[in-house]
Amino acid sequence: MSGRRIARIRVVTIATDTRTTRPDAVAVEEPLELRVAGSAYTTTMRTPGHDIELAHGLLAAESIIRSAEDVATMRYCAGSVEGENTYNVLDVQLRPGLAVPADRRRHSLTSSACGVCGTASIELLRGRPDFDLDSDATRVTASVISTLPDALRAAQPAFESTGGLHAAGLFTVDGRLLVAREDVGRHNAVDKVVGWALLNGRRPASGTILMVSGRTSFELAQKAVLAGIPILAGISAPSSLAVDVAREFGLTLAGFVRAGRMNVYARDDRITVGSES
C-alpha cells in the first residue's frame, strides 16, 4: 500500500459542509511483466507481493506448468528504469523439454479487472483439466461455508487500510484457513493462492474450499477447475459462464454467501445441512 494526501469532504447541509485533508492509504497497482525463457509472455497489473506464487498460479491456470518441478528457475530481471531493479519483471525458465505451446503464447496486457475470458477459453478448458472434479467426494457443512466470509475478511490487512483490494482464501472443510492473498485483481489473488498450493504440494487441492471476496466470474471457476479445487464460494453473484463451467466440470459453486445463507448454483450435494452432516 502507499500513502496519499486526500481531500475529505463531508456534506451535511449547505451551511455546514466541511473540507479537511489527511493522509490516506491507497492500494498499490503496478505492472508485472512475465517472461518465459527470456521472451515476453504477458504483463499483468497486480499488487506487488507474492509474485512467485502469482507466476506459478498464472502458468498453471494456462496449463503451461502442472507442478513446481516444471519450473527450473524464476528470478527478477532489470526493468525499464536503467540501472535499477524495479521487481516488476519476472523471468521463468521451464524444466528441460518443456516450452510454451504455440497456441498459448501471449504478449498482451492483462488488466487488474480481468484475466483471460470468453467462449474460446471454455473450448480450451474442455481439453485441459487434469483432474476429475466429478469424482471428488469432498463434503462440507453449510454452517462452515457461512463462516468463511468473516474468516477471509479477518485475513485482509491491506484491505483494512485501503478498502481497495480483493482477496481469495483456501480453506479446509472444517473452516481452517490454509492461505489468504490480496490483490487489486480478483484473478491475481486467486493465482497467488493457487500458486501457493502448487508450491506446497497441494495440486490437486482436493478437500478444500476457495473463498473469494467478490463476484465469481468464468475465469475464477476456470482456475478452480484447473487447480482441482472442488468448491468455489463467493460473497457476491456468479456470472452465467461461471455457472456453466461449474455444471460442466463438477465444481460446486456458491454465491451470495453470508452468515446463515447462500445460493448454490452447481453440485449442491457437496454442501450438507442439518442431519445430513
The answer to whether 89 is a known ligand-binding residue is no
| 22 occurs within a structural domain | no
In a domain? residue 1: no
CATH number of the CATH domain containing 232 = 3.40.140.10
Give the active site residue among 114, 117, 122, 151. Answer: 114
Whether 143 and 271 share a structural domain? yes
184 is in an annotated binding site: no
Summarised one tens digit per residue, pLDDT across range 141-199 is: 999 999 999 999 999 875 555 556 899 999 999 999 999 999 999 999 999 999 999 99
Is 243 annotated as contributing to ligand binding?
Answer: no
Mark whether 71 and 142 lie in a shared domain.
no
206 in a structural domain: yes
User: Residue 213 belongs to what domain range?
Assistant: 133-276
Is 256 annotated for ligand binding?
yes
Mean of the per-residue pLDDT values of the chain? 85
For the chain, the domain total comes to: 2
Compute the CA torsion angle 125, 246, 154, 140 (nearest 10 deg): -130
Model's pTM, two decimal places? 0.86
The reply to whether 121 falls in a domain is no
In a domain, 127, yes or no: no
pLDDT digit string, tens, across residues 134-156: 999 999 999 999 999 999 999 98
Q: Are residues 156 and 37 in the same domain?
A: no
Is residue 114 annotated as part of the catalytic site, yes or no? yes
